[in-house]
Amino acid sequence: MVIAKSTRLEDIWKLFHDRLVAQVTTVSIAGSQTITIQRVDSSYNDSDFSSKDSFPIIIVETPTLNDSNLTLYKEKSSGHIIVEVYTTQAESAEKFASNILNAVESYKKTLSDNGLKNVHGNLVDSDFAEHGKIKIHVRRMEFSFDFFYNKTRSY
């Protein structure tokens, strides 16, 4: 899939989403316990947070884009996409964050082939919250990228 200018938000989101669905599925933590991602989605507002069985989840937010002129015929979108992991164990939060960063890092060639250049990822936040008796550990990664395309010309 090559990213189209007209559907770049959806296309970029889908590239990241599909990569994480395929590559970030489980981690092993102390005590020989395997933790499996329950879902990868674009929002968490419809999630049931009342049970530990609902976790872990990965949220891939819609990318944000900032367009700028490059030449008479070319423009560039500088973008960011946020990926968050919510889990009930601190150790699995760290491991999933590492797996997410690695999944995107090892996918840079494919991202470039699809039009995303200069992809860089960072862990930007580490937090936890309590929801009733459930402690939720959150790791937030931000990926930046550039997308180059031909301007729409008008006369």
DSSP assignments along the chain, one per residue: -PPPGGGHHHHHHHHHHHHHHHH--EEEETTTEEEE--EEES--TT---SSGGG--EEEEPPPEEEEEE-SSSEEEEEEEEEEEEEES-HHHHHHHHHHHHHHHHTTHHHHHHTTEEEEEEEEEEEEEEEETTEEEEEEEEEEEEEEEEEPPP--
Classified by CATH at the fold level, domain 5-150 comes out as: Alpha-Beta Plaits (3.30.70)
Mean pLDDT along residues 14-42: 93
pLDDT-derived band at 65 (thresholds 50, 70, 90) equals very high
Mean pLDDT of 134-150: 94
Q: What is the pTM of this model?
A: 0.90
Give the range among 12-21, 24-33, 43-52 with minimum mean pLDDT: 43-52
| Residue-range domain boundaries for the chain | 5-150
pLDDT at position 44 is 67
Q: 113-130, pLDDT tens digit by residue?
A: 999 999 999 999 999 888
Summarize the confidence of residues 61-75 as an average pLDDT: 88
